[in-house]
A and B are shown apart, each in its own frame.
Chain A
Amino acid sequence: MKLGLSSLFIRNHLLADSSDDILAKYRKPSAESSPVKENGHSKKSSKVLKSDNLNQEANSFTDVKKKLRLVLGNTSEIPYFIKQNPCSMKIKLETILRLEMGKARKLREWSSAARIAEALRCVQLLDERHCLKLIQSLRADLRLRATYLRYLVSSKQELLFTEMYLNTLQDQIKHDRIQCEFYFASVCVREFLSEQEPLVMAFCDEFRRLSLADEKCDFLQNFYLRLFEIMNENKHWQDVLHKRDFLVKVTLERCIMSRVYFNAIYPNGDGDRDRDRVLHEHIGTLSKSLRPEHKDLLIPSAFLRESPWLPAQEALRALDAARTPRDKLRCVSRCAKCLVDLLGLSGSCAAADDFTPVLVYVIIKVNPVALLSTVQFVNSFNAGQIRGEDEYWWTQFCSAVEYIKTMDYSD
């Protein structure tokens, strides 16, 4: 394509100017460049050399164009004031190149600085008319390449889409891996616990016998430590535990806790159940007549478009199914974050002023069983281990439960 263009240029050139004119022009600016100078001298003596010479001129023209394109291809933007300036094309070109030169020097990109310096030198050798031709030729190139450019852009776009798709796939696979590891850990832990069955049985009996919550908690933590010690003595388990100790810990907690769950969550048996049932009925009655505009909530109308915040309700429904304090906490955090996201949809940042009443509403609508016992369960078995954001959401949840206790049925 480049060759075709230059030949086109030569033809135009021949038609437009008389050859002597051209030669004269070329001679003057390229006075310092020795090969051209020599050519200039030889031209006078023999007319046969002229076409040869023209070819060389054309070559130097394509050469300059190539250099210029290389440099300008890396230019991000040509300043507006240069585009609008009425000065000559040559000055414009030189200004642009000098600006690029400055940039390259500042960034210490020496190789591109050298290229720019070379292009600048070549441009300085040309005169105004030639510069205009150069620009025209570059423009024609651009037009010819437009289709190719469009093709490149769409290819790039497609590549980006493919990359995104592959990244999603990779994420899914990663997630599958986590899931598999989780199942693997739970199978291993169950296997391990079935081997330790007498120990677990003894633990369960002793756990039920203890009456004070902090005693139960200490006893449980010590039992976990003991089980970990037993695991660590086994070579086979050391391999499993390697980099998976958190996963194993979580699974172990789930298995042990589900064995003593009802005793742990209702340490006082029927007394606790009765207390929970009273609150459950209270919330049930509240729920029947509850609207977001209730006098104790007064949720601003700006946030009502996402009402009744179903995804957050769904997240909170898992609370009863969760068996360990850790899982219950996670469930509450998930519900809270979900609410924040939903409230965020209304366009403003969800502050506590907006969040607390909506959380109260969601808890009432979900009406989890054993609410009071759950709060007590998490606080006594996870005391001091709740940190950071989880602690904040958990506090919000506890305070919402406290608030619900004080609500009455008048609208």
Chain B
Amino acid sequence: MANSSIAAVSFKVVLLGKGCVGKTSLVLRYVEDKFNGKHITTIQASFLNKKINIDGQRLTLAIWDTAGQEKFHALGPIYYRSANGAVLVYDITDVDSFQKVKTWVKELRKMLGRDMCLAIVGNKMDLEEERQVPVEEAEEYASKVGATHWFTSAKLNQGVEEMFVGLARDMLAKNALAGTLSRQSSIRRNMLVVTDDEPAPAKGCCSSGA
């Protein structure tokens, strides 16, 4: 446990959202700082690793892209199983894509409970004048379901880094909480074993401690 602050932690993050909302642009912007790179590159955008450092804690984000087409929706569970966080992307000019995010949130909460950190992301904020999804509605919804809400523009490179770092902080906090919980329970179990096997010495131990 003491080593966990030094050892690198790895988090799995899935990208969910309707096709064409800019999931890929978002992750490419974050990992490679590129937008719509027309030049031939050997990199692929479906699985990317990003090493970051938060308050001295080194961690790796393994970012999993998923196919956003409606027909592939049913495959979701295969991807988000064992993920630590999800980035749910919608396009602020597309009400439909926001509805899709709501479906994902409902599904994730139902399947995984509160174990997963959610970041709802309104992308394409550079198209503010064509906005269809009201800011208040989106932010209210996010706080209602216990998710963070972000506005980004992959095109202008706005808010992308902040969003991923924010999500990473959430995941770290959740991880630390889970760590302390499991430690407490393991200590308790050890205590129980001792008292079960040899009640008398355990008592003495307690009194000497007090």
Give residues in A with beta carbon < 8 Å to B.
296, 298, 340-341, 344-345, 347-353, 355-357, 388-389, 392-393, 395-396, 398-399, 402-403, 406
Q: B165: shortest Cβ distance to chain A, in Å?
A: 22
* Contacting residue for B67 out of A344, A352, A389, CB 8 A: A352
Task: Knowing that A348-B38, A392-B62, A399-B72 touch, tell me 14 more A-B residue pairs with CB under 8 angstroms.
Answer: A341-B42, A344-B44, A350-B46, A351-B24, A352-B23, A352-B46, A355-B44, A355-B46, A356-B66, A356-B72, A388-B62, A395-B64, A402-B78, A403-B72
In the complex, A402→B72 CA distance in Å?
10
Interface of A is mostly: helix
Contact with A along B42-85 (1 / 0, CB 8 A): 11111101000000000000101111110110110011000000
CB <8 Å contact, A403 and B46: no
CB <8 Å contact, A349 and B75: no
Residues of A within 8 A of B67 (CB): 352-353, 355-357
CB closest residue in chain A, given B81? A395
Q: A367: shortest Cβ distance to chain B, in Å?
A: 20
* Contacting residue for B37 out of A340, A341, A349, A351, CB 8 A: A349
CB <8 Å contact, B41 and A395: no
CB <8 Å contact, A340 and B44: yes
Interface size on B, residues (CB 8 A): 30
Instruction: With A296-B71, A355-B67 as known contacts, state yes or no: A392 contacts B78, CB within 8 Å.
Output: no
In the complex, A351→B41 CA distance in Å?
13
Instruction: With A298-B69, A344-B40, A357-B67 as known contacts, state yes or no: A350 contacts B45, CB within 8 Å.
Output: yes
Q: A347: shortest Cβ distance to chain B, in Å?
A: 6
CB <8 Å contact, B79 and A399: yes
In the complex, A352→B18 CA distance in Å?
12
Q: B124: shortest Cβ distance to chain A, in Å?
A: 16
In the complex, A226→B67 CA distance in Å?
44
CB closest residue in chain B, given A351? B24
CB closest residue in chain A, given B18? A353
In the complex, A296→B72 CA distance in Å?
9
Instruction: With A356-B72, A388-B49, A388-B62 as known contacts, state yes or no: A349 contacts B44, CB within 8 Å.
Output: yes
CB <8 Å contact, B41 and A349: yes
In the complex, A298→B62 CA distance in Å?
28
Q: A220: shortest Cβ distance to chain B, in Å?
A: 23
Residue B118 at the A interface, CB < 8 A? no
